[in-house]
Amino acid sequence: MIPVLFLSFTAILIIGAPIVTALGMSAAFALQAGDRSLLIVAQMAFQSLDSFSLMAVPFFILAGHLMSSGGVATRLVQLANAFVGWIRGGLGAVAVLTSLLFATVSGSSSATTAAIGSVLIPEMEKKGYPRSFAASIAASSGELGAIIPPSIPMIVYALTANVSVGSLFLAGILPGLLITVSLILTVCLVARIQGFDEVSAVSFTGWLKGVLIALKDATLALMMPVIILGGIYGGLFTATEASCIAVLYGLALGLFVYKEITVKDLLGIFARSAVMSSIILLIVAFAAVFAYLLTINQVPQQVAAMLGSVTTNPIVFLLLVNVMLFLVGMFIEALAAILIIVPILAPISVAFGIDPIHFGMIVITNLAVGMVTPPVGVNLFVVCEVAQLKMHHLAKYLVIFLAVLVLDVLIISYVPAISTFFL
């Protein structure tokens, strides 16, 4: 069954079929090869979706769309611009910082990339940034949507590895800040070397006044992550209940406070959210069938035995895991990769003495980097559509950001305190 499973999965991906099709059809082919009933596909798919915790996914997606359409993105851009817009490379730094802020309300990497890219790529181009550089900034910083809480990949990982969603949310704070700072420094360094985005002179008083004004305007938007994390850790509600509260909060902001959403707009927002939720949940459903076949054929045990024969050193094990996850992230969408790989690697990592929450952040940050690596980098497709560029146009600058992101992943992997500090 396993050779048929992997060969058919690879072949279906090569011909360009969606990941959902590859997962479902390869599982069906494998079951046929093993003379098993195809009813298993329906049973396992339904069972994987029959989860209270998984209900958080469509609600966080809807909250992100409400925030994006309700004027939140604009106010976050203004706040980020007030903080760092005055330095050389400031507009690029604004894109990174805004991605960080927007990630706290979107939960999605692609949504963050689309929202920030559509607003700031044209503005960066006006200030002399090469369009390919501006697009590379938006794509690489968009991955923060998967790392900063609330994060949809974190929810899926928590369900797969049977760990706390709230703990993963806390674990993502410092890794997200590390990536943000490293990307801002990279943008400023490239801007200085290439000589674009001149420094704007500003007094401390003027800077502080601008920050306070922007902060006042964006306070309500910034309250969403405070409400979510505060409520979860205050014992007021679960992560799933927090997602529902996030929807109500985003709806109230857009309709009654910022008044940038009308009742007519809601149908389109709900439709876009439903489509994205359907895609993600279909991936979850069919990836669960795929993972089930791996489990009953004892693939995790075989992989564990193989890794045990290669090394007993946790440092070497993490290096092998990072290499494997980087390669997997290049070809498989993050949520599908989590559902396929985590049941195999999570038990092995525990045997090597690695904290499950720390290992979760290693997996998520690796696969987040996969969102900006060709050929299946979701953020690249989004940003190329927004910037009207071909993927190869980004190569010159994208490789710089990828090198920085890989370095960040290695730091997160080998310094557990970055992930476990708040636990």
Residue pLDDT, tens place only, 293-351: 887 887 777 877 777 778 888 999 999 999 988 888 887 878 888 888 888 888 889 98
Domain with 304 in it:
2-421
Residue 368 pLDDT > 80: yes
The C-alpha atoms of residue 406 and residue 74 are separated, in whole angstroms, by: 30
Residue 230 pLDDT > 80: yes
- Give the angle subtended at the CA of 134 by the CAs of 130 and 139, to the nearest 5°: 145
Tally of domains within the chain? 1
290 closest CA partner among 78, 93, 47, 45: 45
60 closest CA partner among 232, 186, 205, 196: 232
> What pLDDT score does 8 carry?
92
Instruction: Give 200-203's long-range contacts (Cβ < 8 A, gap of 24+).
Output: 200/85, 200/86, 200/90, 201/86, 202/86
> What's phi and psi for 88, nearest 5 deg?
-65, 130
Encode burial over 353-385: b for 16+ CB neighbours within 10 A, e otherwise: ebbbbbbbbbbbbbbbbbbbbeebbbbbbbbbe
Residue 397 pLDDT > 80: yes
Highest mean pLDDT among 28-37, 95-104, 202-211, 397-406: 397-406
- For 36, other C-beta atoms within 10 Å of its C-beta total 15
Residue pLDDT, tens place only, 38-90: 898 999 889 888 888 788 888 888 888 888 787 777 888 888 888 887 888 88
CB 135 within 8 A of CB 152: no
Torsion of CA 253, 259, 262, 268, to 10 degrees: -50
Residue pLDDT, tens place only, 245-259: 989 998 998 899 888
Residue pLDDT, tens place only, 114-151: 878 888 888 888 888 889 999 999 999 999 989 998 88
Residue 37 pLDDT > 80: yes
User: What pTM was computed for the model?
Assistant: 0.85
